[in-house]
Amino acid sequence: MSAILAGTLLLLGAFFVLVSAIGILRFPDLYMRMHGATKAGTLGAGLILLGASVLFGTLAVTVKAMTVFVFLLLTAPVAAHVLGRAAHHDDVPKWDRTGVDELEGRYDRGNPEHDGPAGMTPKG
């Protein structure tokens, strides 16, 4: 019974990792690819880890799997955030079907005092 459950979880996890790999190949620009790359680390890896802990069923494996998952949740968005931010900073081309860009022109480039973009109401 638990073998069937574990197998299902492992297959589902592998499916989501495969889908995000396809997404990285298919998506047209860096930002869209980041969507694919970060999500593999969450649902896909999470399901695989859950499947592993169901399969072994011991506390040692479960604790390790949960620790791995927590670190994935902590690190994946930070990496995605830094990459996306650097890309926008360096004007990496966006897909031509991209709609509004409300971040455009908010950086004060060449001024080391300002590290982040301006807010909604630019201060005079």
Contact between 36 and 55 (Cβ < 8 Å): no
Nearer to other proteins, 64 or 117 (CB): 117
Provide, rounded to whole angstroms, the least separation between the CB of residue 43 and other proteins. Answer: 4
Q: Which is nearer to other proteins, 110 or 119 (CB)?
A: 119
How far is residue 98's CA from residue 78's CA, in Å, rounded to a whole number? 23
Nearer to other proteins, 64 or 94 (CB): 94
C-beta separation of 87 from 31 below 8 A: yes
Of residues 1 and 119, the one with the C-beta less far from other proteins: 119
Q: How many CB atoms lie within 10 A of CB 66?
A: 13
Residue 7: CB minimum distance to other proteins, A: 19
Contacts to other proteins by CB under 8 A: 15-16, 19-20, 22-23, 26-29, 31-32, 34-36, 38-39, 42-43, 59, 62, 73-74, 76-78, 80-81, 84-85, 88, 94-95, 97-104, 106, 114-121, 123
Distance CA 123, CA 56 (A): 58
For the purposes of burial, counting CB atoms within 10 Å of the CB of 76, is it exposed (0-12), middle (13-18) or buried (19 or more)? middle
